[in-house]
Amino acid sequence: MADLDDDLDDLYDIFETLLDRYTPEIAVKKIAGYASPEAVQKVRDRHERTLIRIREMEEPRALILGNRDTWYTGPRDDDKYWPALCRLLAKDGWSESSIENLDESSTRIMSLLNHPRERQFSTRGLVVGYVQSGKTTSFTAVTAKAADRGYKLFIVLAGIHNGLRRQTQARLIKQLVEPNPGGWQQITGLDHDFTPPENAAAFFSKANKTHVLCVVKKNATVLTKLVKWLESASAFLTDTPALIIDDEADQATVATKRINPLIRRVLDSLPKSAYVGYTASPFANLLIDPSAEDLYPKNFIVNLPKPDGHFGTEVLFGRYALDGENPEDVDDGWDMIRLVPDADIPLVRPKTKAEAEGFQPQLTDSLRRAVTYFWLATAARRVRGTGNPHSTMLIHTSVRTSVHDGFRAPLEGFREVITRRLEDPSAIAELRKVWDEETARVPAGDFGESKVEFDDLLPELGGVLRDCRVIMDNSGSTERLDFENGHVVAIAVGGNTLSRGLTLEGLLVSYFVRAVTVYDTLLQMGRWFGYRNGYADLPRIWMTEELADWFRHLATVEVEMRRDIDIYLTEDKTPETFAVRLRTHPSLKVTAAAKMADAVDAHAGYGGKRVQTRYFHTNAEWLLDNQQAARDLVVAALEVGVRVEKLPEKGLFILREVPSDLVIDFLGAYQFHEKSQEADAELMIRYIERRIRNTGALRRWDVAVIGNDAGAPDDNFEFADGIAVGRVVRSRLDTPEPDFADIKTLMSRRDAAIDLAGPIAGLTEAQIFEERRKQLPDIGLLVLYPIDKTSNPGPGRAKRAPLNAAEHVIGTGLVFPKPTGDDDVVSYEAHYISADLSGIEMEEEDLSILEADEQ
């Protein structure tokens, strides 16, 4: 049994040899017959230490990127998949700055994944892009970088339609496989979805050094076959790092009876998996129950940056002013929206399902103008000869295929009429009028283009009319837009097949009156979003006034949502400690009812939040101004005779029921670092004033001064006569940025209860706010911390550096009571929902090291 106990080197050599053929678990079982359990465990420990050493040689284990620890900080010189993709993008006309932006954003996402050599991991993340903004390129870049670092299996869940699956497969073949054909094994192809190959284990053995690529639909039959195939190779998957990309992650993934469990079974079959959802409409994903064994993005949520030149919701429709914004400073969007009269709707869309059969749509005045403008703008694009060579128009009035088919004859008849009248002076005058009116409303010069005169486009118009096809693109049609075989001029009439993921190349004009009342569906149907290089002045959208208002609301929702998401990169928050809030609408649903089943009401402002300063400048002027603001607050409070609780032996003073105007004056004078997204002085002041005006809450505040017990005068910070405490130590993260310090954590959880009666040790965040509701329902808490300007880190804090500020730093924490009853209703101009985080048990960051630093 213990033959090799005395020679661990020989035992380890045997173990390493077995690893060439078997997984670590099987290799351990095989050597267990030749040594004691203690010796086997020593071999396993030695193997793990070896892996760690290799990992540390190849990737630093604790570098900081974007204020977070990571193992990945960017490409290396010996990478091959990412450099090949860069060369291909440059060849396709990508600018150097665009490739740099893609590199930066994909590195950000990679830095949030696990190192592929970790023994076991299960990551859940979400990437939020814009509709038609290049999300496929982003996850292609992430895939390339993950392959360069050792991820082995890549599964892309590519929507629910064959067209999108094929489009995604083609893109990955072109950008990943063809530049490095020897590095990939494709389990799926352009013309076939997943079919289980024989001997699954062969794809994942150590001898097989290639990467495995699989692009599948989110279809129950397909996913069932994939699960069974993976489970058949379970013994070889223990050391197979896998990246699962879920494109259109809000579609079919969330709250479905068949697809959702199958996706989770795929992940459960992979001991080392990173699941990353991609979507431009993440509402359903953000509302998943975080405490369930589901696909809530518990590890990270990131925004993709808005690309230059992208036409998004806000650009086209404008948005409403947010809290703290001057409405006059908010853009109303480009003048590209044309209203369809309500009287036209029943002529292009049946009212009920029963009316759909036999419904004959009519070419209303608004639709005729839209089609006429499309042909004129296409002719103008031919004069320019720049940008996307294709030119398309979308007509989307109904999901019913029979309604789509009814448009063919009227559209083709209208094209014949215009063609015949090209020699008619009165007809030419009508066309000229349309063109001059439209180009006057949206000047080409605003987009760096030159106006195409009508007389210059007229010679091209006949060719446009001859080339234009009317295509029914729906589930019952065999027609499809094919952009790979020649230039396309087409009017596409369709429904759901054109509503998500698929790109309408060269989309110029949209006529959209589809009745949709759900955020994600409505947003995804906006096929007009995207890039319009060379013709950015020409796009137009015809829709009802109600729809235009809804899209304007959606633009507002998006801006607020992305601001919340950015907090994850700038504040000490995670998706399990802070839930993104989504503004609701009285006539629209955020997402399908089943996907909102676990959502809870969320407060729009600061109610029920603990805000603390984490970032600081280190220059003397900025710091001295903040010292003065803090001293002015304490002195002013003493002058109005507030009650003071003094506990100098604990380094604590509490000034009770300070008038709100003094706190507001402090917030106006104190300077928060510009990276402190939550700590926005103007927004906090507006919030306090609104709570006071509406309900009388927050008229009074407790102001606490927290430090160490007072010692030698040189170690103290004096706020006013009789109020001095020892300075606390808060070292900074070791980053090279000048005039900047990130201390990461300032305020302990118990500090949020410092003014409460009774025992507070061990209370959770929720319990603290509940106690505040009982004891001090209308009183806020402001905490001042004097931080030593040197603040050397304590022993064992390798990632920390001395604060080295020019002057002592004043840190600030604010605790806002939750609104209750009518306060919650009348204090806010909007209503919000979010995921329910109450079921998650979180442990607060251990502040014992900070406290040790202070000794």
Mean pLDDT, the chain, as a whole number?
88
- Confidence at residue 57, expressed as pLDDT on a 0 to 100 scale: 39
SS3 assignment, position 625: helix
H or E stretch including 852?
helix 848-854
Can you give the pLDDT at residue 828? 39
Lookup result for tokens 């599948």: 216
Instruction: Map tokens 């603290």 to a residue.
Output: 768
The two three-digit tokens of residue 632, written as one number: 């002015």
Predicted confidence band at 736 (pLDDT cuts at 50, 70, 90)? confident
| Token pair listed for 499 | 């509503």
Token pair 């990353």: residue: 276
CB 423 within 8 A of CB 429: no
| Residue 574: HSE in the Cβ half-sphere, 13 Å Cα cutoff | 16
Range scoring the smallest mean pLDDT among 33-42, 44-53, 71-80: 44-53
Question: Are the C-beta atoms of residues 477 and 407 closer than 8 Å to each other?
Answer: no
Mean pLDDT of 74-103: 94
**Which residue has better confidence, 376 or 826?**
376
Predicted structure pTM score: 0.76
| Span 110-121, average pLDDT | 92
Cα 499 from Cα 496, distance rounded (Å): 5
Least confident span in 151-155, 226-230, 759-763: 759-763
> With 90 as the cut, is the pLDDT of residue 189 above it?
yes
Other CB atoms within 10 A of residue 469 CB: 13
Rounded to whole angstroms, the Cα distance separating 526 from 314 reads 12
Q: What is the pLDDT of residues 276-296, one digit of tens each?
A: 999 999 999 999 999 999 999
pLDDT at 382 over 90: yes
Per-residue pLDDT band for 50 (boundaries 50, 70, 90) equals low
Please state, in angstroms and rounded to a whole number, the distance separating the CA atoms of residues 191 and 272. 30
**Architecture of the structural domain at 80-306:** 3-Layer(aba) Sandwich (3.40)
The predicted pLDDT at position 619 comes to 97
Please answer whether residues 702 and 657 qualify as being in contact, where contact means their C-beta atoms are separated by less than 8 angstroms: yes
Contact 532, 506 (CB under 8 A): no
Domain ranges of the chain: 8-58, 80-306, 320-543, 610-828
Q: Residue 855 pLDDT more than 70?
A: no
Q: How far apart are CA 464 and CA 46, in angstroms?
A: 72
CA nearest to 651, candidates 524, 542, 784: 784
pLDDT recorded at residue 19: 65
- Other C-beta atoms closer than 10 Å to the C-beta of 240 total 22
Q: Are 317 and 555 in contact (CB under 8 A)?
A: yes
Of 18-27, 392-401, 416-425, which one has max mean pLDDT?
A: 416-425
pLDDT in the model for residue 475? 64
pLDDT of 20 higher than 60: no
* Residue 842 confidence (pLDDT) above 80: no
pLDDT higher than threshold 80 for residue 5: no
> What pLDDT is recorded for position 715?
86
Cα diameter, the chain? 104
Name every residue whose Cβ is closer than 8 Å to that of residue 4 and which is 6 or more positions away in sequence: 10, 11, 14, 31, 34, 35, 39
Res 168: pLDDT = 94
Q: What is the mean pLDDT of residues 506-510?
A: 93
pLDDT at 3 over 80: no
The rounded distance, in Å, linking the Cα atoms of 518 and 283 is 10
C-beta separation of 238 from 25 below 8 A: yes
336-375 pLDDT tens trace: 999 999 999 999 999 888 888 889 999 999 999 999 999 9
Q: What angle do CA 545, 548, 550 make, to 5 degrees?
A: 110
How is residue 836 annotated by DSSP? -
Mean pLDDT of 547-551: 91
- The answer for residues whose C-beta is within 8 angstroms of residue 754's C-beta and 6 or more apart is 652, 654, 704, 706, 760, 781, 783
Say how many CA atoms lie within 13 Å of 463 toward its Cβ: 14
pLDDT per residue over 443-452, tens digit each?
999 999 999 9
Kindly report, residue by residue over 668-694, the tens digit of the pLDDT.
999 999 888 778 898 899 889 988 988
